[in-house]
Copies of this chain bind each other. A is one copy, B any other.
Amino acid sequence: MIEDKNPKRTPLSELGEFKLIEHLTKHFEITQTSTIKSIGDDAAVLDHGDKQIVVSTDLLVEGVHFDLSYVPLKHLGYKAVMVNLSDIYAMNATATQVTISIAVSNRFPLEALEELYEGITTAAKLYNIDVVGGDTTSATSGLIISVTAIGEVKKDKVVLRSGAKPNDLLVVTGDIGGAYMGLQVLEREKEVFKVNPNSQPDLSMYTYIIERQLKPEARKDIIELLEKLAVTPTSMIDISDGLSSEVIHLCKQSKVGVDVYENKIPLDPQVISTCEEFNIDSTTIALNGGEDYELLMTVSQDDFPKIKGNPNLTVIGYITEEERGMHLVTRAEEKIPIIAKGWNALNNQS
């Protein structure tokens, strides 16, 4: 009925996810004194006494964010929690609680939901968080999981996306591109399975990248490491949509430019070999593949001695003045502009 009564129709795909959120939320005014940071960071920041509360929420939709033909439900439950904890850690906060809401069609038996909750329980135990609420309801089709994560951080330790300064170091944790290449392998096996259901794929050479896709770990350890090293990043974001998209977020919100060095981007050997096998450029994957849930941060040059040589932290570039723009410095020492082609749930759908 909506279709009939509204003469103007703008397809959602015209805007993309970020512009859509921006467009829809621009009218929200902040009136509560306890709201320190609202929409536009990894999590909202609320002021309560000497600590600040951070809140983040994510929705995972079957057929959009996951494909149950190769994602075990246990892993899905685990990942749904990780995706949200990652946002909390990206604020330099400690995650403390989550709420989980699930809408499920009656195609799923109870045993399927038990598997899903097993993954959620495992995640909660390992990451020391409490599941404090939620809602379970039916859906007309598919499975939808909505998670809200809550964390806390001391007032002077909260890290926003907007604090990067010229000359800061751009630092990434772990290695990137693995989750995307794991997805490519799983998608290929699904196609093979369709043609020949008896095929027994040998996935042993892809274990790392498949695990990166199916069972990502949020970097709680990095927040603990940063505290131990006495380093407070000047800005931070988690890598859910791909490096280039996150670099752009940091720079735009900090009003700075950046030079990212292609030869510094950390790639696992399995990502490189699988990219060769699939005949894809590994830098393209590192820049645009999503779902690695590593952290991207900027660190003052003064802190370089503290992070130097740490295997968890790789310096991949330098923050510049805004007017210098955002560039990738290639292995051939060419400077090319960084453009977001990040994983975009709204454009991925036809």
Chain B neighbourhood of A27, CB < 8 A:
117, 121
Cβ of B97 and Cβ of A55 under 8 Å apart? yes
Q: Is the CB of B39 within 8 A of A2?
A: no
- Interface of chain A, main secondary structure: mixed
Collect the chain B residues with CB atoms within 8 Å of residue A28's CB: 121, 124, 130-131
Per a CB cutoff under 8 Å, which of B23, B29, B44, B99 touches A57? B99
A11-B106, A12-B108 known; A21 vs B136 contact (CB < 8 Å): yes
Which A29-53 residues have C-beta < 8 A from chain B? 29-32, 34-35, 37-39, 43-44, 46, 48-51, 53
> In this assembly, does A146 line the interface, its C-beta being within 8 Å of a C-beta of chain B?
yes
Please name the residue on chain B nearest to A62 by beta carbon. B140
> Contact: B48 with A106, CB < 8 Å?
no
Residue A129 is within 8 A (CB to CB) of chain B in the complex? yes
Shortest Cβ gap from A62 to chain B (Å): 7
9-residue interface stretch from A63-71, A198-206, A246-254, A322-330: A63-71
B59 and A103 contact, CB distance less than 8 A: yes
A340 within 8 A of B: no
In the assembly, what is the distance between CA of A57 and CA of B64, in Å? 22
Q: Is A25 an interface residue (CB 8 A)?
A: yes
Q: At the interface, yes or no: A335 with Cβ under 8 Å from chain B? A: no
Cα-based distance from A61 to B137 in the complex (angstroms) = 8
Q: Which of B25, B109, B125, B135 contacts A58 (CB 8 A)?
A: B135
CB contact under 8 A between A132 and B345, given known A12-B104, A146-B101, A152-B34: no
Complex Cα–Cα for A230 and B46 (A): 28
- Is A310's CB within 8 Å of the partner chain B? no
* Across the A-B interface, the 8 shortest Cβ-Cβ residue pairs: A49-B49, A44-B132, A146-B146, A9-B109, A10-B110, A63-B140, A148-B148, A59-B101
Q: Residue-by-residue, is A149-184 near B (CB-CB < 8 Å gives 1, otherwise 0)?
A: 010100000000000000000000000000000000
Q: Which chain B residues lie closer than 8 Å to A138 at the CB level? A: 12, 61, 64, 345-346, 348-349
Residues of chain B within 8 A (CB-CB) of A30 are 130
Asked if A139 is at the interface of the complex by the 8 Å CB criterion, the answer is: yes
Does A17 touch B at the CB level, under 8 Å? yes
Given A68-B1, A129-B32, A131-B28, A148:B6 Cβ within 8 A: no
A56 in the interface (beta carbon within 8 A): yes
Give the chain B neighbours of A144 by CB distance below 8 A. 59, 61, 103, 139, 144
Inter-subunit contact B51/A49 (CB<8 Å): yes
Cβ-closest chain B residue relative to A65: B137
Q: A49-B50, A131-B38, A152-B34 are in contact. Are A12 and B109 (CB under 8 A)?
A: yes
- Chain A, 306-348, contact with B by CB distance < 8 Å: what is the 0/1 string? 0000000000000000000000000000000000000001101
Contact: B59 with A2, CB < 8 Å? no
**A221: B residues at CB distance < 8 A:** none
